[in-house]
Amino acid sequence: MDPRTARLDLAHDATAPRLARRFLATVLQGWGVDDDIVDRSQLLVSELVSNAVLHGTGPVELQVTETDANVGVYRVEVSNPGHGVPAMRRTSNEELSGRGLQLVDSLARNWGSNNVDGHTCVWFDVGAVLAS
């Protein structure tokens, strides 16, 4: 059985994060995903799409895929034209921004990025809790 996938193209502007949150919530709720996972996913996708608009050079693509239906794991990918490689950075208490990837790192099951053919893709997995 093929995994469920949904995709949305977003303009490279300030409306993109809001539209991404709304789209992701609609998709995940339609798949019967737990509200906690939906809320966490919306927060994280907002961070990634905001970064794509701020640092990228063109339209943003959002894709969500159910990667493991047996345990309910979902991958959210945000990609856009650009050669940058996102990296977590240390921030002081006085800085107003720069904590997005720290948030992704602490709330996602897993995350990463890649750059292929002039497009940067940052992704995160949410879903089933890993055993400690």
Q: Tell me how far apart the alpha carbons of residues 100 and 51 are, in angstroms, rounded to a whole number.
A: 8
Task: Say which CATH topology domain 5-127 has.
Answer: Heat Shock Protein 90 (3.30.565)
Residue 130, classed as helix, strand or coil, is coil
- In tens, the pLDDT along 39-85 reads 999 999 999 999 999 888 889 999 999 987 777 899 999 999 987 77
- pLDDT, mean of residues 113-125: 91
Could you tell me the pTM of the whole model?
A: 0.87
What does the radius of gyration of the chain's CA atoms come to, in whole angstroms? 14
